[in-house]
Amino acid sequence: MELIFKSGIFIYPIIAMSIFGLFIVIERTVFFLVELPKRRAMMQTLLNGTNPDCDNPDRDNPDCESDTFFMQIAASIKSGRFEDELIEIQVEKEVANAARFLSGLAVVVQSSPLLGLLGTVVGMIAAFVQIETLGEMVTPSDLAGGIWEALLTTAAGLIVAVPAGIAYTIFQSQAARYERWLLGNIYQIKSNIENKEAKKQ
């Protein structure tokens, strides 16, 4: 706590950034580890030709409930008509859901070290002003003390930015991978519907 008080006012927005970034990391971790596997399983079910009746509001299916994405795909499979524009809109929403909050995490990655650097610059200015005030009475400890206190905010900013940057890269990669996987399965479902309709004719 003593180090925090010595770091100046810029340490507080860095702390706020760290809390905000931690919230995003936890939320996205839960999504990619818990929610995404469920959505992959549901898509695989649709791809295998097993219609989970997501378009049936009377069916108690928690995976389909209030999920227009799977409802639209299931309805297309059931009707034998693939609505390209509607499905495309739903795919865009699904991809956006996978990348949710990542822009906020990017702000944390970019802003934290800059806030730390700004705090260090302000702290260095204050330290040199104090040295000038002391004049010939200044000692090496006065100089070193002012500098290391100023550098605390840079260290704090990097401590926040580095793990946040690693998390951002991982989440961005997972979202991009899910998008490719999703589009591939959508095209496969569309092909299956078209082939089934062609055989009827």
Residue 131 lies in a domain: no
Give how many domains the chain has, as a whole number: 1
- Which residues, other chains included, contact 99 with Cβ-Cβ below 8 Å and sequence gap of 6+? 171, 172, 175
Q: How confident is the model at residue 72 (pLDDT cuts 50, 70, 90)?
A: confident
Domain that includes residue 69, residue range: 2-113+157-200
Angle between the 140-200 and 36-47 helix axes, to the nearest 10 degrees? 20
Q: Is the pLDDT of residue 76 over 50?
A: yes
Residue 141 lies in a domain: no
List phi, psi (to 5°) of 181: -65, -40
Residue 135 lies in a domain: no
Span 44-71, mean pLDDT? 61
In this prediction the pTM is: 0.80
What number of H helices and E strands is found in the chain? 7, 0
Residue 165 lies in a domain: yes
Residue 120 lies in a domain: no
Q: Tell me, what's the pLDDT at 55?
A: 47
Residue 31 lies in a domain: yes
SS3 49: coil
Span 125-140, mean pLDDT? 76
Q: How confident is the model at residue 155 (pLDDT cuts 50, 70, 90)?
A: very high
Residue 175 lies in a domain: yes
